[in-house]
A = this chain, B = another copy of it.
Amino acid sequence: MDGIHDLGGDDSFGAIHIERDEPVFHEDWEPLAQALGFLGMGLNWWTADQIRHAIERMEPRHYMNASYYERFLTGVASLYVERGTVSQLQLEKLAGGRYPLSLHATRGAQAREADIHFAVGETVMATNTYYRGHCRMPKYVRGKKGVVVHIAPPFPFAGSAGHGLEAKLEPTYHVRFVAKDLWSDAEENSTVVVDLWESYLEKAP
C-alpha cells in the first residue's frame, strides 16, 4: 500500500533526536507488547509480515503520533481482535478507555507466476505496480533502474504473507540504485540498496 509508513525520501522531517545511554526498553509495557505479538506468531496465527501490515494499516493520524512500541501493540492487538481471540469491546473494558485498532485489510497480492531470474551485475527495473495491500517495495524505487549486487535465498513473497495467504518462495535481490536517479536533488556519490522480491523486478527496457 502507498501508506503513511512508506517514509523513505519524505522531506517533511527535521533533526534526528539521539538519546544518550538509551536503555533497551523505556517502559515495562514495551517488551510485554512485543512478547504478546510473538506469542501469536509462535502459535502460527500470523507471520511477521502480517504484524508489519497490521501496523501499516493503522489510522494514519494514530500511526504518526504513536511510538514504535505503541504501533507494535496496536498492530498485534488488531490481529488478535481480527482472529476473534478477544473483542475490541473487551479490550476497552479491560483498559478502561478507548482502544484504537488498525483499519481493515484490503486484498493481498500474489507473486508473479513465471520465474524471471536476474543475475548479479544485471540492470533491472522496479515494476511500476501499485499494490493496495502489504508491499515491501518502497515507493521511491518504483519504475526506477538499478543494478543487482547480490541474490539472497528464497523467502515467502511478502505481498501474500502479509495477508496470511500462501506465499510463493522467491529469491530477493539486493539492487543498488544511484541516489540521484531516485531523487534529482540527492547527494553526489551516494547509493541506496533495496532488497526486492523477484516479483517487484522486471528486465530493464
Interface of A with B (CB < 8 Å)? Answer: 1-5, 9-14, 56-57, 59-61, 63-65, 103, 128-132, 143, 183-186
User: How many Å from the CB of A68 to the closest CB on chain B?
Assistant: 14
Residue of B nearest to A66 (CB): B61
A60 interface neighbour in B1, B13, B59, B128, Cβ under 8 Å: B13
Chain B residue with Cβ nearest A140: B2
| Min CB–CB distance A137 → chain B (angstroms) | 12
- Whether B2 pairs with A10 at a CB distance below 8 angstroms is yes
A13 to B186, CA, bound (A): 29
Sample of 18 more A-B contacts, CB < 8 Å, known A2-B9, A130-B186: A2-B10, A2-B11, A3-B10, A3-B11, A3-B12, A4-B4, A4-B10, A4-B64, A5-B12, A10-B60, A11-B132, A12-B56, A12-B57, A12-B63, A13-B60, A60-B64, A64-B64, A130-B184
Give A3's nearest chain B residue, CB to CB.
Answer: B12
* Identity of the chain B residue whose Cβ is nearest the Cβ of A103 in the assembled complex: B14
In the complex the two chains form, what is the Cα distance from A71 to B149 in whole Å?
Answer: 45
CB of B59 within 8 A of CB of A65, answer no
Give chain B residues whose Cβ lies under 8 Å from the Cβ of A103: 12, 14
Q: CA separation between A2 and B131, bound complex, in Å?
A: 20
Which one of B5, B13, B63, B183 lies within 8 Å of A130 (CB-CB)? B183
Which chain B residue lies CB-closest to A13?
B60
* Alpha-carbon separation in the docked complex, A4 to B56 (Å): 16
B184 touches A129 (CB 8 A): yes
In the complex, 18 of the A-B residue pairs with CB atoms within 8 angstroms, ordered by the A residue number, are A1-B11, A2-B10, A2-B12, A3-B10, A3-B11, A4-B10, A4-B12, A4-B64, A5-B12, A10-B60, A12-B56, A12-B57, A12-B60, A14-B103, A64-B64, A130-B186, A131-B185, A143-B143
